[in-house]
Amino acid sequence: MALHVRGVLLPDDEVRDIWLDGDRVTFDPVPGARTVADTGFVLPGLVDAHCHLGIARGGTPITSLDQARTLARVDRDSGVLALRDAGSPYPYPQLDDEPDLPRLARAGRHVAPPKRYLRDIGLEVGAAEVAAAVAAQAAAGNGWVKLVGDWIDRGVGDLAPAWDPDTMTAAVAAAHAAGVRAAVHTFSESAVEIMVKAGVDSVEHGTGLSLDLIDLMARQGTALVPTMINIRTFGGIAAAARPKFPGYADHMLALRDGFPEVVRAAHEAGVPIYVGTDAGGGIDHGLAAEEMLLLHQQAGMSAVDVLAAASWRAREWLGFPGLVEGGLADLVVYPQDPRRDLAVVRTPSRIVLRGRVVR
């Protein structure tokens, strides 16, 4: 049955009647539609632009499709109706169009350096194999490749780039040659510089960004997915590493402490910023609202800009049209105006995914 929703449609800020005819949005009345909301504030379904359905709590690969389904439903039930999986050790293309799950933009496995990433998570390859690995993982995903740009180098005792600059630049070129976009994990200053200059499409975390690189990202349209909720865990990482790697521990704490200003500077420079939690492993699913609040409270983004980063702009970036004529029938309704009190995003009163009521 077609559905009808009436409320203040954001970002238009107008009271509108919206009809959901199957998985299609229309503003033309559909006879016999069932009204499922007649008041409130209506947004296109939220997005978590950096999560991992293929990684279980604790950092081990999942072993079944049902585990991925369970994690995706946690996100769905919080109002997140589209996900970008930024690297999965477990393939699950069967879930791309599953009716009761969020829409999926997926990378294949992380392409990582040998013995310098989370065990059993990445496809670990030497420099000579990186371009071929990128091509293979482009085929395994549905539009994205995930590169591990840096990690601790135990021989150095600190963060270091995953490979030499030419190899990392060639990895981005290989992704683009395969017709997909490239996302890169970076914490360090050196790796993020290499990858931004190489033309990577999105920087994940990006704690090492400088003002010059931020300006370059803004000019290029390079996206930043800060995962601020994950950066808060750097204290625990530093404490565990300090007995053997004190320099690395100090570096991680400095990156953590300076990060809100990095994100603030990126936003002020016009870098596209999107909401992502890094759920999977050490971060629970369903926390997009908490990431939104951190962007607002710590990085100084306005409530409207945070909503855009989690909703209509993020959906456009990933290719999931919002609440426009002919768009996709994903929406969330909030009882109060989230522009006035962003904490409202924790408690949606109505969730509709693919034209079906979830809540």
Q: What is the mean pLDDT of residues 14-19?
A: 98
pLDDT surpassing 90 at residue 295: yes
| Residue from 251, 252, 248 nearest 232 by CA | 252
pLDDT digits (tens, 9 = 90+) for 228-266: 999 999 999 999 999 999 999 999 999 999 999 999 999
| Residue from 114, 107, 130, 253 nearest 187 by CA | 253
pLDDT digits (tens, 9 = 90+) for 31-73: 999 999 999 999 999 999 999 999 999 999 999 999 999 999 9
- How high is the pLDDT of residue 84? 98
Q: What is the mean pLDDT of residues 104-124?
A: 97
Beta-bridge partner residues of 103: 82
Contact 205, 227 (CB under 8 A): yes
Confidence band for 281, pLDDT divided at 50, 70 and 90: confident
Return the amino acid letter for 178.
A
For 253-283, letters b (16+ CB in 10 Å) and e give bebbeebbebbebbbeeebbbbbbbbbbbeb
Q: What is the mean pLDDT of the chain?
A: 98
| Phi-psi region at 68: left, alpha or beta (left = phi > 0; alpha = psi -120 to 50) | alpha
Describe the chain by its helix, strand, coil percentages, rounded to 5. Answer: 35, 25, 40
Residue 298 CB burial class (10 angstroms; 0-12, 13-18, ≥19): middle
Domain boundaries of the chain, sorted by first residue? 3-42+321-357, 46-318
pTM exceeds cut of 0.85: yes
Query: Among 278-282, 319-323, 327-331, which is the least confidently predicted range?
Result: 278-282
For 142-167, letters b (16+ CB in 10 Å) and e give eebbbbbbbbbbeeebbbbbbbeeeb
- How high is the pLDDT of residue 41? 98
- How high is the pLDDT of residue 253? 98
Same fold? 3-42+321-357, 46-318: no
Handedness of CA 254, 260, 266, 271 (dihedral sign): positive
Per-residue tokens: 157 = 């005792």
Beta-bridge partner residues of 80: 46
Percent of residues, the chain, with pLDDT higher than 90: 99
pLDDT surpassing 90 at residue 350: yes
- How high is the pLDDT of residue 255? 98
- How high is the pLDDT of residue 188? 98
Q: Name the CATH code of domain 3-42+321-357 (choices 2.30.40.10, 3.60.15.10, 2.60.40.150, 3.40.50.300).
A: 2.30.40.10
- How high is the pLDDT of residue 162? 98
pLDDT surpassing 90 at residue 303: yes
CATH of domain 46-318: 3.20.20.140
